[in-house]
């Protein structure tokens, strides 16, 4: 028997938007009654519908936001997106989901990156300070010093999501944490200044991003036992070769003054027909003169005429005396 929605669906619910190209992926509905299989919902346009119970996700109380999605009362895809949307509207672009940091590109400069803000995350555990890329870098730095084992930070996302900028802020924070002398500061600054060199060769403009990285980048930062940066190594992979302006030739390198070899014709030699192959030896067909003349006429060539000096002379008469008289 259906019961009133007074507990789970007291704050309404979320259903998938039936419009595939709509801006909103989920619609918030009010649930009047439900049972184990179906539920009666009221859509935003006022129409009531009967939907399967499993297609409705309970909604959190109105205005509830948290910096960690795992702290939500009801966690689902719809509530996760709603929490991230509300935080983004308040210029809070970072949201944690456990140890995973979600970042939404604001496409504008926000006053959330400076040394004064870095100081707030020094020695803090993940989740204690407001969610930030500095908090993730500090967490990896602390585990590195405590365990003595290498740590990894994977930055992934779609084109234009801000992966390259996030990498820069990670390295800036690690360089800030390892400041202990002029030499180390110079080394950390050299690592940071290497990014524009790689971007000059591997970045391109796309329809979604004016400075899109068209290659993968693996950065290994070497830190000693004291926590100071002593070196770095960068590897590039998955370069988008379709955007290369000019590719090198496959033949071996030669001096600049050497002349380029002329390309050989690639047309294969003519093969005689099978009916002209006799006794294992290829014999080309014989073209007779009259056939040659016909072919020339077909091709539009003028017909060769016999000249006057080529008229055959009469044969001489052989006799036993002088020529006979005219009479």
Q: Quick check: is 301 in a domain?
A: no
Q: Quick check: is 2 in a domain?
A: yes
Q: Quick check: is 159 in a domain?
A: no
Tell whether 140 and 206 lie within a shared domain. Answer: no
Q: Quick check: is 292 in a domain?
A: no
Tell whether 51 and 67 lie within a shared domain. Answer: no
Rounded to a whole number, what is the distance in angstroms from the first to the last CA of the chain? Answer: 150
If DSSP codes are grouped into helix, strand and coil, which group holds residue 31? Answer: strand
Mean pLDDT score across all residues of the chain: 79
Res 106: pLDDT: 92
Res 133: pLDDT: 96
Tell whether 77 and 131 lie within a shared domain. Answer: yes
Domain CATH for 123: 3.40.850.10
Tell whether 65 and 143 lie within a shared domain. Answer: yes
Tell whether 69 and 138 lie within a shared domain. Answer: yes
Give, for 58, the enclosing helix (H) or strand (E). Answer: strand 57-58
Tell whether 16 and 51 lie within a shared domain. Answer: yes
The count of domains in the chain is 3
- From 210, 228, 245, give the residue that closes a domain: 245
Q: Quick check: is 52 in a domain?
A: yes
Res 311: pLDDT: 53
Tell whether 186 and 146 lie within a shared domain. Answer: no
Domain CATH for 43: 2.30.30.360
Give, for 154, the enclosing helix (H) or strand (E). Answer: none
User: Residue 144: pLDDT above 70?
Assistant: yes
Tell whether 67 and 146 lie within a shared domain. Answer: yes
Q: What is the dihedral of CA 26, 31, 35, 36, to 10 degrees?
A: 20
- 86 burial class (0-12, 13-18, 19+ CB within 10 angstroms)? middle
- Unique residue bearing structure tokens 């379709």: 242
- From 245, 268, 289, give the residue that closes a domain: 245
Q: How many Å is the maximal CA-CA distance in the chain?
A: 152
DSSP codes, 47-105: -EEEEEGGG-EEPPPTT---SBGGGSSS-SHHHHHHHHHHHHHTT--EEEETTEEEE--
Tell whether 28 and 66 lie within a shared domain. Answer: no
Q: 0.85 cut: is pTM over it? A: no
- Unique residue bearing structure tokens 């302006």: 245
Q: Quick check: is 1 in a domain?
A: yes
- From 59, 82, 105, give the residue that closes a domain: 59
Q: Quick check: is 117 in a domain?
A: yes
pLDDT in tens, 223-276: 888 888 888 888 888 888 777 666 666 655 555 555 556 666 666 555 555 554
Which residues lie closer than 8 Å to 63 by C-beta, 6 or more apart?
none
Q: Quick check: is 256 in a domain?
A: no
Q: Do 102 and 85 form a contact (C-beta atoms < 8 A)?
A: no
Helices (H), 203-242: none
Task: Give me the domain span that covers residue 222.
Answer: 180-245
- Which of 141, 127, 202, 145 has its CA nearest to residue 171? 141
User: Residue 95: pLDDT above 80?
Assistant: yes
pLDDT in tens, 109-141: 999 999 899 999 999 999 899 999 999 999 999
**Could you give the angle at the alpha carbon of 20 between the alpha carbons of 64 and 49, nearest 5°?**
70
Tell whether 225 and 193 lie within a shared domain. Answer: yes
Q: Burial letters for 90-99: b for 16+ Cβ neighbours within 10 Å, e otherwise?
A: eebbbbbbee
């Amino acid at each position: 028997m259906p019961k009133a929605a007074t507990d789970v669906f007291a704050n309404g619910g979320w259903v998938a938007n039936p419009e595939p190209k709509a801006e909103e992926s989920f619609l918030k509905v009010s649930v009047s009654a439900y049972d184990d299989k179906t539920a009666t919902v009221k859509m935003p346009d006022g129409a009531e519908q009967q939907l399967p119970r499993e297609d409705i996700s309970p909604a959190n109380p109105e205005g509830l936001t948290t910096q960690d999605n795992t702290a939500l009362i009801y966690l689902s895809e719809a509530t996760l997106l709603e929490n991230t949307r509300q935080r983004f509207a308040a210029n809070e672009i970072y949201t944690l989901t456990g140890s995973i940091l979600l970042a939404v590109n604001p496409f504008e400069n926000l006053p959330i990156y400076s040394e004064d803000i870095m100081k707030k995350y020094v020695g803090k555990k993940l989740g204690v300070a407001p969610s930030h890329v500095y908090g993730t870098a500090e967490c990896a730095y602390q585990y590195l010093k405590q365990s003595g084992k290498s740590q990894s930070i994977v930055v992934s996302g779609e084109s234009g999501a801000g992966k390259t900028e996030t990498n820069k802020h990670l390295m800036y924070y690690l360089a800030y944490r390892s400041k202990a002398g002029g030499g180390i500061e110079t080394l950390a600054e050299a690592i940071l200044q290497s990014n524009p060199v790689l971007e000059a060769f591997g970045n391109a403009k796309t329809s979604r991003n004016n400075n899109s990285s068209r290659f993968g980048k693996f950065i290994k930062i070497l830190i000693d036992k004291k926590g100071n940066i002593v070196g770095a190594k960068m590897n590039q992979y998955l370069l988008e070769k379709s955007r290369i302006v000019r590719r090198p030739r496959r033949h071996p390198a030669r001096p600049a003054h050497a002349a380029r070899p002329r390309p050989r014709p690639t047309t294969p030699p003519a093969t005689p027909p099978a009916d002209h192959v006799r006794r294992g030896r290829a014999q080309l067909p014989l073209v007779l003169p009259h056939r040659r003349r016909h072919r020339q006429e077909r091709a539009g060539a003028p017909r060769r005429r016999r000249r006057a000096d080529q008229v055959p002379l009469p044969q001489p008469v052989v006799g036993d005396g002088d020529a006979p008289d005219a009479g």
